[in-house]
Amino acid sequence: MKLFEIVPESTFTFTKFSVALLCTWPPSGNASRKEKIIFELKWWISWINSILLVLPVIYTAYVDYRDIVLFTKSLVFFTVCFQITIKMLICKMMQRQMQYVLDEMEDYVRNASMDEKRILLYFTKKCGKVHASLLLGALVTVLGMIMEPLVLPQPFPAEAKYPFPVNTFPMFGIIYFQHAVTGIQVVCMAAIDCQMAMMLWYIVVRLKILKERTRKITNAYEFSMCVRQHQYLLRFADEVTHIVRYISLTTVSMTTMAIIMSGIHIVGNQPMVVKVQFIFTVSVCSTLVFMNAWPSEILIKSCEDIGNAIYNSKWGGNSADRGIVLVILRSSKPVVVTITGFLPILSLNYYAKFLSKTFSFFTTVRILLAKMESSVAS
């Protein structure tokens, strides 16, 4: 037996550990009153800690608003830190829905058959590599930020200013420690998107399993059972996307702002250490958007595949049952992650446009900075 054997349940263990500091994985419905109280206390402590860095970063941006470099750097820190506050709040407001969804997921995986676990394991390995790479990149970026005062003339990891003296002990040590803890929270914040992606991948897996069963339909009874399962999964998918879309909106809006502000430092005349830090920031932000778009794209295709599977099944091709037509029509309207007027339908097509606009912006900023430098030199 391998020491670290990957099983479908590994997804839950890894994700629970990754988001433990932010308390976005609610206790199960069978948790004791004591466990729920401890969870609530931990959540409030973590949430307040995230705000304790957001406020001085806002103050710093206000003080340095005339200096474009310092101002944009403060805004990058703001967008990253404020994501923690917002995403924790969203998960808090959606706690009951998340508890129902996550409990159902754990129960299904625990009681899955060998064939179902085989499919679950395939997706666990496929997605786990991407999730682990994202969190590793976020961790490297944060550790670099925590060590930044050792090589740059700044007292704290984040360039935050306070309206009171902070250079004396123990205040200096307390603030430095608080910055470091918030940095670890940033890594956990990225894990929230992994948690949302995991919920979407679960729907994809269930639809994949249903598609395999649908292809083997031989009579009306088996068809009716598949239809019931299909209707249940669609309702469950609506429940999941209702949670995910608000996290996705926060991710897309905040990372877009962070990438725009980071671009100024990447293409500008900044020390190489600073450039590398912001390159990692842009990479992590881009991966976060991909983390939301990828499962959303596969979910759309998985919904459509159910209709194709019924149509191509031996029984479906020889039957004139009106229910088949209804299922095919319903499959043509897949479940999507979107908020009308605020968040377009998340897909890989959207992600491609996102990257294209990002690189176009970097090119534009580089041209503008070159013109400014030439005008100053002349």
Per residue of the chain (378 residues), give pLDDT as tens: 344 567 788 889 999 999 999 999 999 888 899 999 999 999 999 999 999 999 999 999 999 888 888 888 889 989 989 999 999 999 999 999 999 999 999 999 999 899 889 999 998 888 888 899 989 988 988 898 888 888 878 888 888 889 888 888 899 999 999 999 999 999 999 999 999 999 999 999 999 999 988 888 888 888 888 889 999 999 999 999 999 999 999 999 999 999 888 888 888 777 787 788 888 888 889 989 999 999 999 999 999 998 888 877 776 555 556 777 788 888 888 999 999 889 999 999 999 999 888 888 878 877 777 776 666 555
Q: Which residues contact 241 (CB under 8 A, 6 or more apart)?
A: 200, 335, 336, 337
Q: Please state the domain count of the chain.
A: 1
DSSP summary character for residue 150: G
Q: What is the pTM of this model?
A: 0.90
Q: Is residue 3 part of a domain?
A: no
- Boundaries of domain holding 61: 13-377
Q: Is residue 31 part of a domain?
A: yes
Q: Among candidates 346, 248, 266, 246, which has minimal Cα distance to 76?
A: 266
Q: Is residue 1 part of a domain?
A: no
DSSP summary character for residue 28: P
Phi, psi of 327 (to 5 degrees): -65, -40
Half-sphere exposure of residue 342, counting CA atoms within 13 Å on the CB side?
13
CB 27 within 8 A of CB 37: no
Q: Is residue 4 part of a domain?
A: no
Q: Is residue 346 part of a domain?
A: yes
Phi, psi of 178 (to 5 degrees): -65, -40
SS3 99: helix
Q: Is residue 49 part of a domain?
A: yes
